C-alpha cells in the first residue's frame, strides 16, 4: 500500500517570480534579506511546484511507493495570514476573506480528497478546489524550464553532503 505526502501549497505560485533567477544563484538570492517580505511567500510555493515537477519528470517517485502532490487548501478564515498588511490593502483583504475564504474544516477536506478520494490519480499533481489543476504557467515556458533546471542543480549541490542525488537515483 502506498504512503501519501500531500504538501500544502498556494495559488500565489501562479503569479510568483523568483528574485534574480537569471543573474545569480536562486538559493543565494532567496537568502538575501532584500528579497524577504510578502512576495517571498508566493516564491516559496513556486519552489514546491518546480521541485515536484522535477521529481516526476525524472521519475524518482513511483505512485506505488509514495503518492506525492501539492494541495491548495484555499484562502482561510480564522488564521493570521496577512496580519502585517496595512491600510487599504488590509481592508480589501478582510472583505475578500469575508466573501470567499473557507473554514479550516473545509480546507481540510481538500487534503482528504487528494489522499483518500483521488489517491494514485493525484500522484505528481497540483490540486486546488478538489480538482487536478495545471501547474503555474511559468513552468510551461522555456524560461521556466531553465529556471527549474538551475534550481534543481543548486538544490542537489546544497544537499550533496547528504547524497540526496544518490538517494533519489536509488529510488528509480
**Residue 45 bears catalytic tag:** yes
Residue 124, CA distances (Å) to 26, 163, 165 in order: 23, 23, 19
58, 50 contact by CB (below 8 A): no
Does the pLDDT value for residue 142 go beyond 80?
yes
**DSSP assignment of 61-100, as one string?**
--TTTEEEEEEE--SBSSS-TTTT--HHHHHHHHHHHHHH
pTM: 0.87
Structure confidence by residue, pLDDT tens digits, 9-57: 999 999 998 877 777 889 988 888 888 876 788 899 999 999 999 999 9
Determine whether 41 is an active site residue: yes
Catalytic residue, chosen from 45, 60, 118, 126, is: 45
CA pair distance 141, 157, nearest whole angstrom: 24
From 4, 41, 77, 150, active-site residue? 41
- Which pLDDT belongs to residue 20? 73
Amino acid at each position: 500500500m502506498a504512503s501519501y505526502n500531500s504538501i500544502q501549497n498556494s495559488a500565489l505560485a501562479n503569479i510568483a517570480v523568483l528574485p534574480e533567477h537569471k543573474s545569480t544563484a536562486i538559493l543565494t538570492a532567496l537568502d538575501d534579506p532584500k528579497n524577504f517580505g510578502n512576495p517571498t511567500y508566493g516564491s516559496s510555493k513556486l519552489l514546491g511546484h518546480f521541485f515536484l515537477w522535477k521529481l516526476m519528470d525524472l521519475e524518482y517517485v513511483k505512485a506505488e511507493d509514495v503518492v506525492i502532490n501539492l494541495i491548495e487548501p484555499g484562502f482561510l478564515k480564522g488564521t493570521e495570514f496577512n496580519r502585517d498588511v496595512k491600510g487599504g490593502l488590509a481592508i480589501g483583504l478582510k472583505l475578500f476573506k469575508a466573501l470567499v475564504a473557507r473554514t479550516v474544516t473545509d480546507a481540510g477536506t481538500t487534503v482528504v480528497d487528494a489522499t483518500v478520494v483521488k489517491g494514485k490519480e493525484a500522484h505528481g499533481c497540483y490540486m486546488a478546489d478538489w480538482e487536478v489543476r495545471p501547474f503555474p504557467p511559468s513552468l510551461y515556458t522555456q524560461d521556466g524550464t531553465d529556471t527549474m533546471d538551475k534550481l534543481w542543480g543548486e538544490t542537489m549541490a546544497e544537499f550533496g553532503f547528504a547524497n540526496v542525488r544518490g538517494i533519489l537515483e536509488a529510488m528509480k
